[in-house]
Amino acid sequence: MQTVEVTIVNENGLHTRPGKNFVRACKQFESDITVQKGEKKVSGKSLMKLMGAGICKDDVIQIHADGADEFEAVKYLTDFVAQLEG
């Protein structure tokens, strides 16, 4: 399992369009991907669960990937979150 901690820079957090794009990015990978904010851990491949986590600007989250392409997933998703427009 690979884990990375990132800070959300997008004004809208991971809601609506940024969340949808994040989920689409997660679905490109075979690995199980979870997103953790505090004690709340949700699937990165479910928009409803991701939105339910309430991830907002300046929140620090952890992205966990577990599977055959976990290294690639963590790298890609870290870059993806960093490039979300603020």
Residues carrying an active site annotation: 15
Comparing C-alpha atoms, which of 43, 37, 40, 38 is closest to residue 66? 43
Q: Taking the CA atoms of the chain, what radius of gyration do you get in angstroms? A: 11
Amino acid at 86: G
Token readout for 68 is 């055959």
